[in-house]
Amino acid sequence: MKKPVLERPVLLDVQGITRLYGPAKGCEAIDFQLHAGEVLGIVGESGSGKSTLLRVLAGLEAPDAGRVVYRRSSGEPEAARSDVHEPDTARRGGTQALGGDPQANAEAELDLYAIGEARRRALLRLEWGLVHQNPRDGLRMGVSAGANIGERLMAQGQRHYGQLRATGQAWMGQVELDPGRIDDAPRTFSGGMQQRLQIARTLVTRPRLVFMDEPTGGLDVSVQARLLDMLRTLVRSLGLSVVLVTHDLAVARLLAHRLMVMRRGQVVETGLTDQILDDPQHEYTQLLVSSVLTP
């Protein structure tokens, strides 16, 4: 029997990220690497700095210090990803948006806060995805479900109406929404449906890297279970790499391969999800794990 291939390229290299609003408010000196295909959970109580860290990682808020480096050459080759609804023109359009310079695409590393606002926004739109806790922050509430799903595809250069609509319907089916409601505005959807629509809108472009902020946070428990199952399936079938922020250890157990525990802006413990939950080392992690109520 041959040794298994366990090496995975680094997709995101986070170096000494600090973003403080006050003493112990925000996050401080955070280092980690996310490997291709990994789901990393960041857990902690409110005020631990996990959401601040996610905002910095996702390109929404510049850090006081440190670097977020995206290694684009990692993972699958570009060509292998153009199978879904992405004609060559779309990919070329994307490349141009990311710098207007053919050499930019060949760059192996992108320093998120050194590349400039325009290229950063293009990166977020074209290669990354962000799922907000509140779907209202990630959706356009006034336009149709189909337009919400199609927006990122159009940003990649797709203009064919029939194709956009077909893709929209296919994705509504994928997230268990009735494709017959493609022309309805999200404000007529329930909270759980809106969250599923936000996920479809984010994943339609097959992003390499997805950030999720409490994706099941505001939902009823019965709706949560359905969404969790859907996210697990999508992560596996699309081979997503994910940074997931949650305060819910049960959600972390179901979705994350490994965990980072934060407290007062700092990482107190990291490890395999099962290790953190079954064999916690740090005093705070032990307290956190033992405080969970089980029905």
Partner 1 sequence: MHSMTNTRPRLTVNGLYKQFLLHGQGGLEIDVMRDLSLTLQAGECLVLAGRSGIGKSTLLKMLYGDYRIDQGRIRLHFDDGDLDLEALPTYAWHGLRRDVIGYVSQFLRVVPRVAAVDVVMEPLLARGADEAESRRRAETLLARLNLPERLWRLPPGTFSGGEQQRVNIARGFIGEHPLLLLDEPTASLDAANRDVVIALIGEAKARGTAMLGIFHDEDVRERVADRLLPLDGSLGGLSNASQTCRESLS
Q: Which residues bind partner 1 (CB under 8 A)?
A: 1-8, 35, 37-38, 225-226, 228-229, 232, 236, 253-254, 257-258, 270-272, 274-275, 278-283, 286-287, 289-290, 294
State in angstroms the smallest separation of the CB of 224 from partner 1: 8
User: How are strands ordered across the β-sheet holding 258-263?
Assistant: 128-131, 209-213, 241-246, 39-43, 258-263, 266-272
Burial of residue 263 (CB within 10 Å: 0-12, 13-18, 19+) is buried
Question: Nearer Cβ to partner 1, position 136 or 257?
Answer: 257
State in angstroms the smallest separation of the CB of 186 from partner 1: 23
State in angstroms the smallest separation of the CB of 115 from partner 1: 26
State in angstroms the smallest separation of the CB of 29 from partner 1: 19
Question: Nearer Cβ to partner 1, position 47 or 271?
Answer: 271
The Cα–Cα gap between 132 and 150 comes to: 18
Taking the CA atoms of 152, 37, 39 and 119 in sequence, report the sign of the dihedral they define. Answer: negative
The Cα–Cα gap between 130 and 152 comes to: 12
Question: Nearer Cβ to partner 1, position 140 or 236?
Answer: 236
Question: Nearer Cβ to partner 1, position 114 or 272?
Answer: 272
> For residues 258 and 267, is the Cβ–Cβ distance under 8 A?
no
For residue 66 the two structure tokens come to: 């440190």
| Contacts of residue 187, Cβ cutoff 8 Å, sequence gap at least 6 | 141, 142
Question: Nearer Cβ to partner 1, position 4 or 22?
Answer: 4
Cα separations in angstroms, 55 against 3, 44, 210, 245: 39, 15, 12, 10
Question: Nearer Cβ to partner 1, position 64 or 283?
Answer: 283
State in angstroms the smallest separation of the CB of 136 from partner 1: 25
State in angstroms the smallest separation of the CB of 7 from partner 1: 8
